Amino acid sequence: MRVTFTVNGRRCEADDVWEGESLLYVLRERLGLPGSKNACEQGECGSCTVRLDGTPVCACLVAAGQAEGSEVLTVEGLADFARQRSGEPEPDQLSPVQEAFNRAGAVQCGFCTPGLLVAADELLERNPLPSDAEIREALAGNLCRCTGYEKILDAVRLAARGAGEE
Amino acid sequence: MEFLRPAGWEEALAAKAEHPDAVPLAGGTDIMVELNFGRRRPRTLLDLSAISELHAVERTPSAVRLGAAVPYTRIVEDLADVLPGLAMASRTVGSPQIRNRGSVGGNLGSASPAGDAHPALLAAGATVEAESVRGTRHIPVEEFYTGVKRNALAEDELIRAVRVRPAAGPQQFSKVGTRNAMTIAVCAFALALHPGSRTVRSGIGSAAPTPVRAPEAEEFLGRVLDEGGYWESGEPVPPLVAEEFASLCAAACDPIDDVRGSAAYRRHAVRVMAQRTWEWAWAGYRPGAARNDDEGGAACV
Ligand SMILES: Cc1cc2nc3c(=O)[nH]c(=O)nc-3n(C[C@H](O)[C@H](O)[C@H](O)COP(=O)(O)OP(=O)(O)OC[C@H]3O[C@@H](n4cnc5c(N)ncnc54)[C@H](O)[C@@H]3O)c2cc1C
Ligand code: FES
Ligand code: FES
């Protein structure tokens, strides 16, 4: 079947999609957007986290056909999205959350990073100054095998502080 | 495979009548796992996610009509005042991403004994609204679970909504698992006090082939509260009552040994949860108060 939806502000069409196929598969294998990672395909790891009409979801658990007509945001579109949200026209820059992950050393192998970035960015959009408990809660669906999470928490705090100072 | 995406409820019912083997797809958090792992290859998927009726919540003084596909996140955010037990249970489901998609309709559809909505629905006294082109059935939730991962739906029926009376007394939910997030229940327990009808209802998860109530325990506790005048006085209830109630709840279980826990552990855990939820609930009970909104700080919040 054919599925049409908007990804990172661009209208995309995918053809010959199998009816039982996940949104994650379509993004990675049909639309050339491998940023969202595929690790477990069962909703446990969060490395495939994208926003579907604004809501963070596991792309591996959304059937491609369910995304028909919707707006999807993946890590590839995060910088643009954050820029538009803040109204600051600085092209070719990472989003504040991405910068903070880099600076805090929250990225090791990087496999979990795209999902965490999308989830953390959405948290800060909703709640610009989250408590530690709120950060842990918002990121409870994203597993990381490398960092031990402390640096990830540092990064989210850093991004929140950075935004607060501006 | 065929992918059907009805835009409205009538259309969905017609599609289900025409394709009785079509597998409904709501949040996909159960179904997609099965598809991704090749455990299931249905001929037809019936996507319900575009149907606005299923995402609606209707509130009247006598009932909350919870659309089958309303995600857990909304139950936690918007319905904790009227469905406190279900909101507590919803709060323990998976992770934010899972709660953003997963629904009570899906939990009922899967009818896993470990589903977290079930104990809360049993305790609250919910009714499942099952509909087909032939008409609507209102199924008391305790009659909905017919076996391990089996439910009372006919092959042409879909779940439209769940109907629950707004809480008029304290409700509690407790779940034993290996960690706080993303954990499937080893077992779970829910309790609701219904001062209006002067009754107590319970729900037990993962400790029998289906989610179950503990009728003898409910009756015992209800009788003690009634005969002792406790509904009126709100006085502390002797600890022996809690112990007996907990024992009767444990006796209502029919658990198995599996990778998540042994039968003996489950029975023990249900006993402990029954006692604790009762203590929390009674601590939140005030005679004459129409509703208690903020009970359960120590429980699954
Ligand atoms: C990582 C992860 C963690 C999880 N953690 C928990 C947890 O902690 N607690 C818990 O209880 N569950 C958990 N689950 C299971 C799942 O999220 C729940 O069972 C959820 O309620 C399913 O809802 P859904 O809308 O996603 O259902 P779907 O997957 O869309 O459907 C589930 C079943 O219900 C049927 N169905 C759906 N809607 C209807 C309808 N309106 N009428 C008739 N049939 C219908 C479907 O055909 C299917 O058989 C978890 C799942 C994952 C992947
Ligand atoms: S790949 Fe989707 S949650 Fe792990
Ligand atoms: S950085 Fe390797 S999994 Fe998180």
CATH of the domain at A114: 1.10.150.120
Closest Cα to atom 32 of ligand 1: B106
User: Is the model more confident about A60 or about B178?
Assistant: A60
Q: Are residues A46 and A12 in the same domain?
A: yes
CA distances from A166 to A82, A86, A159, B246 (A): 14, 11, 11, 56
Q: How confident is the model at residue A162 (pLDDT cuts 50, 70, 90)?
A: confident
**Which CATH entry fits the domain spanning B171-289: 3.40.50.410, 3.20.20.120, 3.30.390.50, 1.10.10.10?**
3.30.390.50
Is the pLDDT at A3 greater than 60? The verdict is yes
Mean pLDDT of B149-175: 97
Ligand 3, pocket-test mutation among A37, A142, A145, most atoms within 8 A of CB: A145
Cβ of A57 within 8 Å of Cβ of B49? The answer is no
Q: How confident is the model at residue A92 (pLDDT cuts 50, 70, 90)?
A: confident
**What pLDDT sits at residue A64?**
98
By the CB < 8 Å criterion, does A58 face chain B?
yes
pLDDT more than 70, % of chain B: 96
Distance CA B226, CA B241 (A): 13
Chain A to chain B Cβ contacts (< 8 Å) = 90
For ligand 1, whether the C-beta of B23 sits within 6 Å is: yes
- Map out the domains of chain B as residue ranges: 171-289
Of B1, B25, B28, the CB nearest to A18: B1
Q: Are residues A68 and A94 in the same domain?
A: no
Burial (CB < 10 A; 0-12, 13-18, 19+), residue B259, is exposed
For ligand 1, whether the C-beta of B45 sits within 6 Å is: no
CA distances from B72 to A118, A154, B96, B98 (A): 20, 29, 9, 8
Q: Are residues A108 and A138 in the same domain?
A: yes
Query: What are the pLDDT digits (tens) for B28-82?
Result: 999 999 999 999 999 999 999 999 999 999 999 999 999 999 999 999 999 999 9
Q: Are residues A160 and A86 in the same domain?
A: yes
Distance CA B202, CA B218 (A): 7
**What pLDDT sits at residue B287?**
86
Contact B221, B278 (CB under 8 A): yes
Is the pLDDT at A59 greater than 60? The verdict is yes
The nearest alpha carbon in chain B to A2 belongs to B3
Mean pLDDT of chain B: 94
Mean pLDDT of B94-107: 98
Burial (CB < 10 A; 0-12, 13-18, 19+), residue A125, is middle
Is the pLDDT at B115 greater than 50? The verdict is yes
**What pLDDT sits at residue B293?**
43
Domain boundary among A23, A42, A76: A76
Q: How confident is the model at residue A8 (pLDDT cuts 50, 70, 90)?
A: very high
Mean pLDDT of B94-117: 97
Burial (CB < 10 A; 0-12, 13-18, 19+), residue A14, is buried
Question: What are the backbone dihedrals phi and psi of residue B188, each rounded to the nearest 5 degrees, phi first?
Answer: -145, 160
**What pLDDT sits at residue B296?**
40
Is the pLDDT at A88 greater than 90? The verdict is no
Q: Are residues A35 and A61 in the same domain?
A: yes
Q: Which of B159, B208, B206, B198 lies closest to B24 in space, CA to CA?
A: B159
Q: How confident is the model at residue B294 (pLDDT cuts 50, 70, 90)?
A: very low
Angle at which helices B84-91 and B117-124 cross, to 10°: 170
Is the pLDDT at A40 greater than 90? The verdict is yes
Q: What is the number of the ligand 2 atom nearest to the C-alpha of A39? A: 1
Of A1, A41, A140, the CB nearest to B36: A41
Distance CA B162, CA B141 (A): 9
The nearest alpha carbon in chain A to B95 belongs to A141
- C-alpha atoms less than 13 angstroms from C-alpha of B164 in its C-beta half-sphere: 33
- Which ipTM score applies to this complex? 0.97
**What pLDDT sits at residue B288?**
77
Domain count of the fold of chain A = 2
Contact B66, B75 (CB under 8 A): yes
Cβ of B95 within 8 Å of Cβ of A20? The answer is no
Distance CA B68, CA B121 (A): 13
pLDDT more than 70, % of chain A: 98
Q: How confident is the model at residue B297 (pLDDT cuts 50, 70, 90)?
A: very low
The nearest alpha carbon in chain B to A44 belongs to B182
Contact B242, B278 (CB under 8 A): yes
Disruptive mutation site among A17, A19, A26 for chain B (greatest number of B CBs within 10 Å) = A19
- Residue type at A19 in one-letter notation: E
Mean pLDDT of B258-262: 91
Which chain B residues are closer than 8 Å to A138 by Cβ?
96
**What pLDDT sits at residue B290?**
53
Q: Are residues A105 and A65 in the same domain?
A: no
Distance CA B269, CA B273 (A): 6
Question: What are the backbone dihedrals phi and psi of residue B210, each rounded to the nearest 5 degrees, phi first?
Answer: -130, 165
Is the pLDDT at A159 greater than 50? The verdict is yes
Is the pLDDT at B295 greater than 50? The verdict is no
Domain boundary among A76, A110, A127: A76
- Residue type at B210 in one-letter notation: T
**Range of the structural domain that residue A101 is part of:** 77-164
Query: What are the pLDDT digits (tens) for B214-232?
Result: 999 999 999 999 999 999 9
Ligand lying nearest the CA atom of residue A111: 3
| pTM for this prediction | 0.96
Q: Which runs of E-coded beta strand occur in chain A?
A: 3-7, 10-14, 49-52, 55-58, 71-73
CATH number at residue A13: 3.10.20.30
